Amino acid sequence: MGERNLTTKHTIMLVDGMSLLFRGYYATAYRGSIRRTSTGIPTNGIYTFVRYLWDAIQTFGPSHVVCCWDMGKTTFRTELFSDYKANRPDPPFDLLPQFDLVKKVTESFNIPNIGIKGYEADDVIGTIALNHAPELNVHILTGDNDLLQLVNERIHVIIMKKGFSNYAHFTPERVLEEKGLMPHQLRELKGLMGDASDNYPGVKGIGIKTAQKLLHQYESIDGILKNAEDLPKGIRSKIMSQLDMLHLSHDLAKNRCDVPMSFSISECMLSLDKGKIEKQFEALEMQSLLKLLDDPFS
């Protein structure tokens, strides 16, 4: 459940924009009724995105907020492995116009939108998180467990669950409790067993139980390889015969925290201009959302 006003100062919330927008779209589209403006522009994803975003801001009370976005399908990962995420269908037609419109909404909240070509939003989030954790507590808002590898004492991941005000707040202790591994080992896990949702295989024949057992014993893929002679013959054979894919999967799974980008903390201090937001809501015929801003927080 939510932890309202957990922090109110010196905390930056890094929002996984695509995660919130897709979640907002599918949370309403499954009913078969797409919210539209009087001119037919679909806005259901945007409408629910705003509700998710504002609920998280109200719940966790960040002093700074920035929204991070993917910038197309082509990234350094697709250059490394052409089948990376190739199994994912194209976005629904009614979602397409909402990609640009939702960014106008976040801009009306004075929340910067950041995306870097060639990288995923996760990499942008990781870069900002690592660079600014020494000065700010970091909360990452997402529905994506991939970002759990970033968790440490200063960087927490807030996973959105079904409905509103329903979050799983991951600290290092919670990651260990629920995943059975430390945050930095989650990349090692994906290197071994792959990731079906991202469409790379890891080492075929190595499942989650075997991968976890190996990591409990040897800590990392490097540790496993250094002790290869001690592995059971069948496991050793699978790993050694698929070393190229093991290393490639390990590389694909890494959250890059060195994205070349310029970013100023001062630009994302939360400062609302209700008139500016109202103008954008009116343009998208979402005036009913203005009541959300009546909370004393605003």
Q: Are 114 and 263 in contact (CB under 8 A)?
A: yes
Write the CATH number of the domain with boundaries 185-253: 1.10.150.20
Does residue 1 surpass a pLDDT of 90?
A: no
Q: Give 138-167 pLDDT, tens digit per residue.
A: 999 999 999 999 999 999 999 999 988 899
- For the domain made up of 11-179+260-290, give the CATH fold: Rossmann fold (3.40.50)
Mapped onto helix, strand or coil, the DSSP state of residue 137 is strand
What average pLDDT score do residues 123-131 get? 97
Mean pLDDT of the chain: 93
- Percent of the chain at pLDDT exceeding 90: 88
Does residue 9 surpass a pLDDT of 70?
A: no
Residue range(s) occupied by CATH 1.10.150.20 in the chain: 185-253
The predicted structure's pLDDT at residue 31: 81
The predicted structure's pLDDT at residue 4: 39
The predicted structure's pLDDT at residue 295: 61
Does residue 98 surpass a pLDDT of 70?
A: yes
- Whether the model pTM is above 0.95: no
What average pLDDT score do residues 89-103 get? 96
Hey, what are 198's tokens?
């991202």
Mutual orientation of helices 233-241 and 243-253 as an angle, nearest 10°? 70
Q: Which conformational region is residue 31 in: left (phi greater than 0), alpha (psi within -120 to 50 degrees), or beta?
A: alpha
Does residue 118 surpass a pLDDT of 50?
A: yes
Residue range(s) occupied by CATH 3.40.50.1010 in the chain: 11-179+260-290
Identify the band that residue 221 occupies on the pLDDT scale cut at 50, 70 and 90: very high
